[in-house]
């Protein structure tokens, strides 16, 4: 069995990063869940996970971007609810 180098001019396929893909999906789910409950905690976690997964080069770029947008929306909903109710907590 002889090992050979890859053909010249043909780049190798990038290694699939399962951790980054998992973080992208987790950021989407946490961002979506954060719109309903615990948005003070789940929003920043969704933002952090999506930023890390984008930095690591996830193949699920759309999910990571949606997780980022939903994390920001979580914090925006919290700020709006705080302004309306004049308290730090809110409920439906």
- Residue 27 in domain: yes
Q: pTM for the whole thing?
A: 0.75
Domain that holds residue 58: 18-85
What per-residue confidence (pLDDT) applies to 30? 94
Reported as a single tens digit per residue, the pLDDT across 3-48 is 555 556 555 545 567 788 889 999 999 999 999 888 889 999 999 9
Cβ-based neighbours of 89, under 8 Å, separated by 6 or more: none
At 44-81, the pLDDT tens digits run 999 999 999 999 988 989 999 999 999 999 999 989 88
Residue 91 domain-assigned?
no
In a domain, 3, yes or no: no
Residue 63 lies in a domain: yes
> How many structural domains is the chain composed of?
1
Asked if residue 4 belongs to a domain, the reply is no
* d(C-alpha 4, C-alpha 28), whole Å: 42
Give the number of other CB atoms < 10 A from CB of residue 19.
11
């Amino acid at each position: 069995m002889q090992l050979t180098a890859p053909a010249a001019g043909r780049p190798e396929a990038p290694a699939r990063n399962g951790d980054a893909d998992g973080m992208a999906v987790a950021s989407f789910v946490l961002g979506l869940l954060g719109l309903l409950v615990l948005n003070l905690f789940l929003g920043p976690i969704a933002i952090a996970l999506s930023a890390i997964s984008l930095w690591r080069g996830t193949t699920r770029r759309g999910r990571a971007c949606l997780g980022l947008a939903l994390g920001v929306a979580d914090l925006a909903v919290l700020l709006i609810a705080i302004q309306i109710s004049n308290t730090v907590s809110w409920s439906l």
